[in-house]
Chain A
Amino acid sequence: MKGENGPLVHELFGRGDYGLISEIVEPGSCVLDLGCGEGELLAWLAEHKGVDARGVEISPAKLQKAIAKGVSAYQGDIESCLADYPDKAFDYVLLSQTLQEIRYPLQVMKDILRVSRRAIVAFPNFGHYSVRLAHLFNGRAPKTKLFPYDWYDSPNIHFLTVDDFEILAARQNWQVERRYFLSGTREVKSFPNLMAEVAVFVVSNR
């Protein structure tokens, strides 16, 4: 984790990709966080980076906490909320650890790239060796630190890997501007499809 804010942000939020996102986003930019939860990241970005921060959250209880933090968030679901926005309304749209939970991820990615200059997409890597080993040795739907749910009550409905995302990006002719691979808070330098727990892609339309 590089940058002076990285470790701090990680400590605050306990999620490696948050730290990275706060490094990527330039001060003063306009950011939409899809699935903003209680608005921790947006509140932090607004406070420390002067970001014009917007959020969408489906859970009323979390949304309430986000608004109480002063974040401009509203109730909505990710798959329908983007239609209202004009093209390139945002500098960045964040989709953190949510891609694997959405019914139509490709359509959402297209919508995101329409309303933003860049998408920052973070997702848990199903290709991580712990997932492969769990499946290989148990012969059951993998249940790991990364995917801690039983198959019947998991929010995850897609199981994508780093390579899967790369292939999709190439097919869709998206430009992957930056890619980061994390294991905990450490950056993974080699064999990301095997070694990364979380992948963060910065993507734009060509």
Chain B
Amino acid sequence: MVATTHSKQFESIELESGVVLSPVNVAYETYGTLNADKSNAILVTHAFSGDAHAAGVDAEGHKGWWDNQIGPGKGFDTDKYFVICSNVLGGCKGSTGPSCINPATGERYAMTFPVITIGDMVTLQKMLIDSFGITRLLSVAGGSMGGMQVLEWAVRFPEAVASAIPIASTARHSAQQIAFNEVARQAIMADPDWADGNYYDKKPPGRGLSVARMVGHITYMSDESMRQKFGRRQREENGIFEVESYLRYRGSQFVDRFDANSYLYITKAMDMFDLANGAQSLVPVLAKSRTRYLIISFTSDWLYPSYQSLEIVSALRRRNQDVAYIELTSNYGHDAFLVEVDEQTELIRGFLSRTMKEVAKR
């Protein structure tokens, strides 16, 4: 399956802050075929460092980030469903973000880019979905930050979402999650090359961004998965620990593919996200949704621990809403949602197939 990233431009988008961003681009890919009554569309939302390339192989031979789950015969079966994935607003993979040129000034936005929210990301996705003439998505699905967008979709556009699959996600960040993001942001901003965000056409803040990514990778793994993957092994040539070598490699690799300012804006959007908008209980806000839920968490995921998924499940039960929930056993930590394929495939396939039947009845 060869994938091509497309781009669409809209005249403007009004952000939650009231700022109007104009114009706005969205990069997206699609897989499968939209049926005649446009009832088989699924929006897949990506995690923090993901992009529109979710499945298939791109021109450079890179596989999509959820290729093991999207494709013919897979969990999101492209023989049956039309799958859409777009790069988030504020990103650096084709959708408008801080590294883009501000048409008003002819300069890059950098830190003049307006504050964006998970809600703004969803607004842009809704514009894209509307442009396809799709009025109701069969499902919105995603892990981690993708799961936040899923939840936002379900409460913001209840009539436009038949089912929701938030995986390894949360309705709001805990202090611990915000803390890790803050360490990453401080690492970037402490790099002199960051230069208040004006590093474009100069040397990017590679050291800071690399450290930020290293912190991230630690939180994506588990004690057990690190023990299995690295143990205390050292590299023969220089004596450094395997885990050090791995983190440095991942950090440096990230610098080539991610924009430091996007890192700042998107992590801030995640930290500010609160489905309940400051309220203690999730019950009233979730009561707005008219959606079937499949919620999945993983035993060893300490970054997005199961209690955060259970809080959502419990709130849905308070109004007797339709929810399936499972905590899958895995050693892979937060990474599990991208790595544990077989169980999730079975769950997603069954859930979507049931949803398709319910939608047909409606």
Q: Do A and B bind each other?
A: yes
Residues of A in contact with B (beta carbons under 8 Å apart): 30, 46, 50, 52, 54, 60, 63-64, 67-75, 81, 84-86, 89-90
Q: Which residues of B contact A54 (CB under 8 A)?
A: 322
Question: At the interface, yes or no: B292 with Cβ under 8 Å from chain A?
Answer: yes
Residues of chain A within 8 A (CB-CB) of B320 are 30, 85-86, 89-90
Q: List 7 A-B contacts (CB under 8 A).
A: A60-B327, A64-B328, A67-B324, A68-B350, A70-B355, A70-B357, A89-B320
Assembly CA distance A143 to B319 (angstroms): 44
Are B347 and A68 touching (Cβ within 8 A)? yes
A64 to B323, CA, bound (A): 14
Top 6 nearest A-B pairs (CB, nearest first) are A70-B354, A74-B325, A68-B350, A84-B317, A89-B320, A68-B346
8 additional contacts, CB 8 Å, given A63-B326, A90-B320? A64-B326, A67-B350, A70-B355, A72-B322, A73-B324, A84-B318, A85-B317, A85-B318
A53 to chain B, nearest CB (A): 9
Q: Name which residue of chain B comes closest to A73, CB basis.
A: B324
Could you say which of B319, B324, B349, B357 contacts A72, with CB atoms under 8 Å apart? B324
**Closest CB of chain B to A66's CB: distance in Å?**
8
Residues in A whose Cβ lies below 8 Å from that of B355:
70
Which residues of chain A have C-beta atoms less than 8 A from B349's C-beta?
68
Contacts of A68 in B (CB 8 A): 346-347, 349-351
Shortest Cβ distance from residue A31 to the other chain B in the assembled complex, whole angstroms: 12
Min Cβ gap B267→A in Å is 31
Chain B residues near A84 (CB-CB < 8 A): 314, 317-318
> B278-321: which have CB < 8 Å to A?
292, 294, 313-314, 317-320
CA distance A174 to B307 in the complex (A): 36
Q: Which chain B positions have C-beta within 8 A of A71? A: 324, 354
State whether B292 touches A72 (Cβ < 8 A).
Answer: yes
Q: Is the interface of B mostly helix, strand, loop or mixed?
A: helix
A46 to B358, alpha carbons, bound, how many Å?
A: 10
For residue B9, CB closer than 8 A to chain A, the reply is: no
- Most chain B beta carbons < 10 A, residue from A64, A69, A74: A74
Query: In the complex, what's the smallest C-beta–C-beta distance from A203 to chain B, in angstroms?
Result: 20
**Residue from B292, B313, B320 whose CB has the most chain A CB atoms within 10 Å:** B320
Complex Cα distance, B322 from A70, in Å, reads: 12
The reply to whether B351 and A67 form a contact with Cβ atoms under 8 Å apart is yes
Closest to A65 in B: B346
Q: Could you tell me the distance in whole angstroms from the C-beta of B50 to the nearest C-beta in chain A?
A: 25
Query: Which residues of chain A come closer than 8 Å to B314, judged between CB atoms?
Result: 84
Question: Quick check: A75 and B327 within 8 Å, CB to CB?
Answer: yes
Across the interface, which residues of B come within 8 angstroms of A60, CB to CB? 326-329
A-chain residues with CB within 8 Å of residue B319 when the two chains form the complex: 86
User: Are A69 and B327 in contact, CB atoms less than 8 angstroms apart?
Assistant: no
Contact yes or no, A64 B347, CB < 8 A: yes
B343 at the interface (CB under 8 A from A): yes
- List residues of chain B with CB within 8 A of the CB of A73: 324
Residues of A with C-beta under 8 A to B234: none
Q: Which of A52, A64, A70 contacts B343 (CB 8 A)?
A: A64
List the B side residues contacting A74 at CB < 8 Å: 313, 323-326
For the complex, what is the distance from the CA of A85 to the CA of B323, rounded to whole Å?
A: 13
CB pair A75–B326 under 8 Å, yes or no, is yes
Chain B neighbourhood of A64, CB < 8 A: 326, 328, 343, 346-347
Q: Which of A52, A69, A70, A71: most chain B Cβ within 10 A? A: A70
Name which residue of chain A comes closest to B294, CB basis: A67
Bound Cα distance from A64 to B344, whole angstroms: 9
CA distance A32 to B347 in the complex (A): 20
A70 to B174, CA, bound (A): 32
Q: In the complex, which residue of chain A has the Cβ closest to the Cβ of B321? A: A72
CB distance from A61 to the nearest CB of B (A): 9
